[in-house]
Amino acid sequence: MIVVVSPAKSINSTIVRENLPSTVPNFAKKANAIAKELRMKSVDDLMALFGVSRALAELNFERYRLWHKTVENENALQSILAFNGEVYRGINVENWSVETIASSQDYIRILSGLYGLLNPLDLIQPYRLEMGTKWGPGEHTSLYSFWHKMVTEQLNRDIADSQGDKILINAASAEYFKVIDKKKLKFPVLTVDFRQEENGKLKNITVYTKKARGLMARFITEQKITKSTDLQAFDYEGYTFSAAHSLPDKWIYIR
- What is the per-residue pLDDT for 213? 98
Question: What domain range is 170 assigned to?
Answer: 2-254
Phi, psi (deg, nearest 5) at residue 242: -115, 100
Between CA 147 and CA 137 the distance in angstroms is: 10
Q: Which amino acid is at 183?
A: K
Are 251 and 231 spatial neighbours (Cβ–Cβ below 8 Å)?
A: yes
Q: Over range 57-77, report the average pLDDT.
A: 88
Are 9 and 87 spatial neighbours (Cβ–Cβ below 8 Å)?
A: no
How far lies 209's CA from each of 133, 171, 234, 238, in Å?
22, 10, 14, 13
Give the β-pairing of 108-112 and 2-5: parallel
Cα of 193 vs its chain's centroid, Å: 16
- What is the per-residue pLDDT for 73? 62
Q: Count up the domains in the chain and report the number.
A: 1
Are 49 and 42 spatial neighbours (Cβ–Cβ below 8 Å)?
A: no
- Angle 110-89-147 from CA coordinates, rounded to 5°: 15
Between CA 224 and CA 218 the distance in angstroms is: 10
| pLDDT tens string 78-104 | 999 999 999 999 999 999 999 999 999
Lowest mean pLDDT among 46-60, 66-80, 114-128: 66-80
| pLDDT tens string 138-189 | 999 999 999 999 999 999 999 999 999 999 999 999 999 999 999 999 999 9
- What is the per-residue pLDDT for 70? 84
Q: Which amino acid is at 185?
A: L
Check whether 13 has a pLDDT greater than 80.
no
